[in-house]
Structure formats: structure tokens, C-alpha cells
Amino acid sequence: MAVRGPGRLTCAAVTALTLAASARAAECPVDGARLTAPAPRAWNAGAGVDSDGCTWSITAQGRRVADSDALACPRCGAAFAADGPLPGRLPPDAAASLLAALAGAAPPESAARRLERAAEVRAALGAGAAEVGALLLRAAWAARAQAAGPGPDGGYRPRTVPQAREQLRVLEERARRGGDQDPAASHLEAAAGDLDLLRRALDGLLPAVGGPDLIAVVRARQLVGLVERRVLEAQAHLAVTPSEAGLELVLARAWARFGDPERRERWLEAARARHGEAVAAEAARLRAACAEEARLLAAARARFEQAAARADAPSERARLLVLAGDAARRVGDAEAARRLLGQAIEADPDGRLADVARALLER
């Protein structure tokens, strides 16, 4: 039987307060159950506070598109994008057919799965391919956010594509030189050496002193031990800087964000060659998140191509083809990317999207 001591209650109260401050609550349009979602956060919060320079991660208003997550129902497994208005309570027959489609679906666990479920629900409710594709694309971004962090980013925090290129170039140069030693590391090493000398000097005094002097020397020795521990703590902290823990992993993550699976794999291979087992778990985690992103990008691309085939307005057709082309580029399908981006330029040669397509072709 659970004991509800005061400590436990305090803990529950704190949890409730935290949830109240960070969650948006709503009712499930399918069955009226209470929906909650984590507080919105920057999509790549795990790796910085910026965009990765990905053309499509920033809306026209400058907002990061995956700042919002999806609300998921713990009872029926339905999910809905959290940033738009939720549909009202569904008519009983629509709710029943959606429940049948979701039968046995577990509540989605990750942001990527919640957004993918939201896309499935919108599709079941009759949404068009462009809307469903957009939700799938956001799901792919959420998976990419998983790939990008947490972990040291080595200063890779670009806000534009040219910045991303420049920062990647600098990082690769550093990695080829074997990673920079943090200047703080050598200062700490020197400090540790000085403390060692001081400790030995005090130890040498011990047999020669007595009375109040002995107490003072013992006290000084204790203080030296305390400072030594602080230096060790600082050194342990430095040990997680990129140069020590694998600049190669930082680069693999950065190329994953930039959308170059070939270079991502090259740096993962370099990380394995240099650090062996020490990086195996992180490499596996990164690959799994990238595979999830690729799966969702493929699903999004199929929807965008469908919608583009039916789009009448040239600018809308170009927009959908650029989205499909960038999804192809990000999974390393260069041929499909060239074809789709070329079609986007053809669809609306003088439009803004044609410029975006040309820039993506150059990457």
C-alpha cells in the first residue's frame, strides 16, 4: 500500500503546479477525454536556440514551425495539432469510424508520433493531401529534433543556410586537426599541479610542527583537498566538450540537421574509428532518429506530390513540389530531388519558390 507521507504530497503538488504552468488542456473531439500536451518548445531545443538553417523550419512570420506539438488523447489514441483550433465534438458516426480506425492504438509517446497520429486523424476526417503532408513534415522535424539533441553542438547554431555552411566548414577543419584543446583545460591542469606541490609542502611540515601550528597545517591540508576536488569537478565538466567527447558526433548531428545523410554517415564512421564503443550508443540513437525522420519525410513527400498533381495555381504547385523535393534531398535521394525541384521551377519560374528551389539545388 502506498504511504502518502508529507514528502510525497509535496512532490505531487509540485508536479501538478508544473503541469498547470506548462500544459495546454482541451477535450478530445472523439470521446471528450481530457487532452494534454507538453508546453511548446523550440523544435531543436536539444541542440541550441535557433533554426538549423533549414529553409522550411521557419514560417513566413519567423516562427519555428514545430514550436507547437500535438495534443494526444490517452483514452482513444487520437491526436490533434495543438496550435490550431481543435475540431468540435465529432458526430457519433464520424467518432465511431475514427475509433474503429484507431482501435488498440496506444497513445503516441514522442512528439513525432503525436504529429504523425494527428496527420492520420486529419486524413481519416477527410483533410486534403497538402494538409496531411504538412503535419507529416512537422512530425519529421520533431524526429530531426530528436536526432539533433541532446548533446554538445560544438557551436553549430546557424540561422541561415550560408551560416550553416560556414559553421560546418569551421567544424570540419577543427575535426581534421583532431579537435581543439579547450584553453581552460591547460589552466586547470596547471592548477592541479600547483595544488599537488602545496599538498606535498604541507605534508613535509607535519612532522616538524605541534600545538596550534599543527592544527593550522592540518586545516590548510583539508582546504587543499577541497580545492583539488573542485578542480577535478571542473575537469570532469570540460571532459564533455566536443574536442574530448567526439567532435565527429557533433558533425554527424550537424549534417543530419543540414540534411546530408551521406556526410552524416561519414562522420559517424569517423567517430566509431576514433572513439570505438564509447560512441556506439549515441551513434545508434542518432541513426534511429534519422531513420524515423526519413520514414516520415517519405510519407510527407508522397502527400505533397499527390497534392501538387492536383494544384491549379502555379505558385501552390511550386510550393508543394519544393516541399516534396526538399524531403527527397534530406533522405539522400538526389535524383528525385533534382526532378521535383526542376518541376517546381518550371511550374512558376518567376515566383519566390523558384528561387528557393534553385538554392536547394545548389546545396
Q: Is the CB of 77 or the CB of 242 nearer to Zn ion?
A: 77
**Pick 24 or 221: Cβ nearer Zn ion:** 24
Distances (CA, A) of 310 to 305, 306, 324: 9, 7, 14
Cβ distance to Zn ion smaller for residue 30 or 70: 30
CB of 124: closest distance to Zn ion in angstroms?
13
| 17-36 positions binding Zn ion, by CB under 5 A | 28, 30-31, 33
- CB-wise, 34 or 63, nearer to Zn ion? 34
Residue closer to Zn ion by CB (options 28, 347) is: 28
356 binds Zn ion per the rule CB under 5 A:
no
Interface region with Zn ion, contact rule CB under 5 A, candidates 53-61, 72-80, 173-181, 241-249: 72-80
What is the three-class DSSP state of 25?
strand
Q: Mask of contacts with Zn ion, 29-68, x by CB under 5 A?
A: -xx-x-----------------------------------
Pairing of strands 79-81, 24-27: unpaired
Closest distance of CB 135 from Zn ion, Å = 18
Set of cell numbers at residue 87: 475540431
Amino acid at 340: L
Q: Considering only residues 77-96, where is the footprint of Zn ion by CB under 5 A?
A: 78
246: CB partners within 8 A, 6+ apart: 271, 274, 275, 278, 279, 282
CA dist 84 and 90 (Å) reads 16
Pick between residue 74 and residue 210 the one whose CB is nearest to Zn ion: 74
In the complex, least distance from residue 86 CB atom to Zn ion, rounded to whole angstroms = 11
CA distance 165 to 163: 5
Residue from 54, 71, 73, 249 binding Zn ion (CB under 5 A): 73
- With CB under 5 A as the rule, give the number of residues binding Zn ion: 8
Give whole-number Cα distances, 162 to 10, 183, 218, 300, 323, in Å: 50, 29, 60, 26, 20
Cα(123)–Cα(336) distance, integer angstroms = 25
Question: Scanning the structure block, which residue is given the C-alpha cell 512530425?
Answer: 139
CB 69 within 8 A of CB 111: yes
Selected from 41, 75, 89, 287, the binder of Zn ion by CB under 5 A is 75
Least spacing, CB of residue 41 vs Zn ion, in Å: 24
Q: Going by C-beta distance under 8 Å and a sequence separation of 6 or more, which residues neighbour residue 243?
A: 174, 179, 180, 181, 182
**Applying CB under 5 A, which of residues 37, 54, 70, 76 lies at the interface with Zn ion?**
76
Which CB, 79 or 271, lies closer to Zn ion? 79
The nearest distance, CB 75 to Zn ion, in angstroms, is 5
Q: Which residues bind Zn ion (CB under 5 A)?
A: 28, 30-31, 33, 73, 75-76, 78
